[in-house]
Each structure stands twice: as structure tokens, then as C-alpha cells.
Chains A and B, each alone.
Chain A
Amino acid sequence: QSVLTQPPSVSAAPGQKVTISCSGSSSNIGNNFVSWYHQLPGTAPKLLIYDNNKRPSGIPDRFSGSKSGTSATLGITGLQTGDEADYYCGTWDTSLSTVLFGGGTQLTVL
């Protein structure tokens, strides 16, 4: 059971929008930056969002991040079949003195 809680799976149709939530506490998300990673099948994770809402170069603006209180959200618009992957949130936990990842959310584009 992860300290950061993500829904195990989400799905939506091509072209639609989906959001993935990441719920934590004041010792992690509430007082630290959140990053998001996606992992295509059989590949290494890749950075999608850092510092809650910033996109690295090369990541399209279809991907967005936000944070409110002890929760963070990843948004993906204009869904494509190539977006099918596992998505993970990550942050530091001050109480546990460790980097935490969420349990991961599998995105299916129907």
C-alpha cells in the first residue's frame, strides 16, 4: 500500500481528456514539489511534469500538472493511443525521509 494514493486505472476515448489524482499528506505532497512520470510498456519511466506543473522540453502541452493542498493531479488532453502507459507521481516525504512514488495508474485509451 503506497503512501501516495493513485487510482489503479483510468480510461477514456481518443481525443478526450483524463485526469489522474495523487493523494498524500502534509509530510509529502503538502509541503514538497510533485513530479510525474510515464512508463510505456517495457520501457523505463520518463519525466513528464516537475515542480508540480512544469513540463520538460519535448513534452507537449497536452500534459499538465497541478497541486492543491495534499493532492496533485495530472491532466492529459487530446488523448492518443500512444499515451497508453503507467503513470506515477513522486515526491519527498519529510517524515519518512524518503522519496515516495504513487502506486501507479494504468491509462487505457479505448
Chain B
Amino acid sequence: QVQLQESGPGLVKPSQTLSLSCSVSGGSISSGGYYWSWIRQHPGKGLEWIGYIYNSGSTYYNPSLKSRVTISVDTSKNQFSLKLSSVTAADTAVYYCASWLGHCSGGSCWGYFQHWGQGTLVAVSS
């Protein structure tokens, strides 16, 4: 059973870069079929997909966040990371990492979020 665990600072200053990592256990991050994902949830609100990365390095980002997001994979550590630049208070949210089981081709994707981390709250404040 794949398990995911987020880690990173719980407080980030405005205009700085939010950096989070997700450690994967119970399976290899190099396993085919999985896209390693980040999703966030603003306080009291719904879910917002940030993006995901395949072990080949292919990335797919939410167009609304694309200019500020970088997702990367470190296969040696069996973890993947999120960087969100130029943060504002609007980026305060619970950030979840998740494994997305599916396939992307020709700009379309088919799949679902199979496993989720417990989430980590990141507040943006001076």
C-alpha cells in the first residue's frame, strides 16, 4: 500500500517561494502508471489541482498556477516536490500530495487520485 507524507514549512512570507516535499513509501516513485500530484484546499473550500509529474519528468500544471509552479521528482530519495513562487495570502491552504493513477496523451488525461497524504497547512503571512 502506497503511503505519502508531506513535509515543509508551515509559514511562508509573502513574495517568497513555498517549498514542500512528499515522501513516498510502500512503492517506488519510478513505478509506471503513476503521476505524482499536488492538490490544495483553501480553508473551508473545495479542492484545487496544482499539477503532477510523471517519473519521466513530464509535467502537467493547472493553467491558473502554471507560471508560478514547479514540480520535480527525486527518484534517489523516492520523493517529489512542489515549489510555488511569489506567494500571497491567497496561497494559504492545506497542501496534499497524491498519487494519480492514469494516463496522459495528446494533451488529455484519464485517471484518478488513488492515494493521498494527510495534508499540511501552509500559511502565507509576514
Q: Is the interface of B mostly helix, strand, loop or mixed?
A: strand
Residue of A nearest to B106 (CB): A94
B46–A2 contact, CB under 8 A?
yes
Rounded to whole angstroms, the CA-CA distance of A2 and B63 in the bound complex is: 15
B118–A44 contact, CB under 8 A?
yes
B46–A44 contact, CB under 8 A?
no
Decide yes or no whether B114 CB sits under 8 A from chain A. Answer: yes
Interchain pairs with CB closer than 8 A, number: 62
Other-chain residue from A35, A94, A102 in contact with B113 (beta carbon distance below 8 A)? A35
B110–A45 contact, CB under 8 A?
no
In the assembled complex, how far is the CB of residue A110 from the closest CB belonging to chain B, in whole angstroms?
22
Decide yes or no whether A56 CB sits under 8 A from chain B. Answer: yes
A94–B96 contact, CB under 8 A?
no
A44–B107 contact, CB under 8 A?
no
Interface size on A, residues (CB 8 A): 26
Chain B, residues 7-50, CB within 8 Å of chain A (1/0): the string is 00000000000000000000000000000000000000011110
Rounded to whole angstroms, the CA-CA distance of A14 and B111 in the bound complex is: 32
A44–B62 contact, CB under 8 A?
no
B107–A46 contact, CB under 8 A?
no
In the assembled complex, which residues on chain B have CB atoms less than 8 Å from the CB atom of A12?
Answer: none
In the assembled complex, which residues on chain B have CB atoms less than 8 Å from the CB atom of A94?
Answer: 107-108
B114–A56 contact, CB under 8 A?
yes
